[in-house]
């Protein structure tokens, strides 16, 4: 189980470093319903990750993610496909990154976040964790990696739970700051929001490229076993 945890840690960190969800939770925290919306968003995020992971682990178990102690060919093929997609997305994000002096327009949906109810905040957390392409690809890759280790189902669930906790640090940290520091957290949260929004494309480009290369490398290693 320890080996499985080590293999999925980088991918979990990749999910945690999600600029737009972090900006979204900060916007909710500084709204009138911040005390309810922030935690609701994080709970939705956790459940979204849990649902996607449960589906992938169930499918992987049903079709067999290991082949005589080695990763099944379909797992390596899946990682190769995900890796190539992430590389393409990374190149696209890099080409569209913000240049010095460029204005960063605020998407309309971000403005709407400040008026969300806790129920909508919960739904937004679930959608941004399990549906947006970057997280979806990384969660599928992480759950597939866990499945291919061949450990027992109970151990797979524990490893994936650890994956989810680490993947939640990015959106959870602003909420912790908000409740720990109260009004003193506002300057920190505002700075974090601006920096993430301004550098969103560059951050995503680096993440896509790094994890795309990692997944392609994992796939090649899997095929060679």
Q: What is the pTM of this model?
A: 0.84
Residue 219, pLDDT score: 87
Residue 64, pLDDT score: 72
Residue 153, pLDDT score: 84
Question: Residue 222 — pLDDT band, cuts 50, 70, 90?
Answer: confident
Q: Please state, in angstroms and rounded to a whole number, the distance separating the CA atoms of residues 170 and 175.
A: 10
Q: Please state, in angstroms and rounded to a whole number, the distance separating the CA atoms of residues 134 and 10.
A: 14
How confident is the model over 43-69, as a mean pLDDT? 84
Nearest to 23 by CA among 93, 106, 130: 106
Residue 109, pLDDT score: 65
Which residue has better confidence, 64 or 83? Answer: 83
**What values do phi and psi take at 189, rounded to 5?**
-65, -40
Question: Residue 203 — pLDDT band, cuts 50, 70, 90?
Answer: confident
How confident is the model over 80-87, as a mean pLDDT? 91
Residue 183, pLDDT score: 81
Is it the case that residue 190 has pLDDT exceeding 90?
no
Is it the case that residue 103 has pLDDT exceeding 70?
no
Question: Residue 150 — pLDDT band, cuts 50, 70, 90?
Answer: confident
């Amino acid at each position: 189980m320890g080996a499985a945890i080590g293999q999925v840690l980088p991918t979990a960190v990749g999910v945690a470093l999600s600029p737009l969800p972090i900006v979204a939770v900060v916007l909710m925290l500084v709204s009138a319903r911040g005390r309810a919306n922030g935690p609701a968003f994080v709970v939705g995020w956790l459940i979204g990750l849990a649902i996607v992971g449960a589906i992938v682990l169930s499918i992987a178990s049903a079709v067999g993610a290991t082949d005589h102690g080695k990763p099944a060919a379909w797992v390596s093929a899946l990682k190769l496909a995900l890796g190539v997609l992430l590389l393409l997305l990374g190149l696209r994000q890099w080409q569209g990154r913000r240049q010095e002096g460029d204005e960063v327009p605020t998407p309309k949906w971000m403005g709407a976040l400040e008026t969300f109810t806790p129920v909508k905040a919960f739904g937004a957390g679930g959608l941004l964790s399990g549906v947006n392409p970057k997280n979806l690809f990384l969660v599928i890759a992480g759950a597939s990696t866990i499945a291919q280790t061949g450990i027992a189902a109970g151990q797979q669930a524990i490893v994936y739970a650890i994956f989810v906790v680490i993947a939640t640090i990015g959106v959870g940290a602003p909420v912790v700051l908000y409740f720990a520091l109260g009004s003193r957290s506002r300057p920190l949260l505002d700075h974090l929001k601006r920096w993430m929004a301004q550098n969103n494309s560059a951050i995503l480009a680096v993440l896509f490229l790094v994890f795309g290369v990692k997944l392609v490398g994992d796939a090649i290693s899997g095929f060679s076993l």
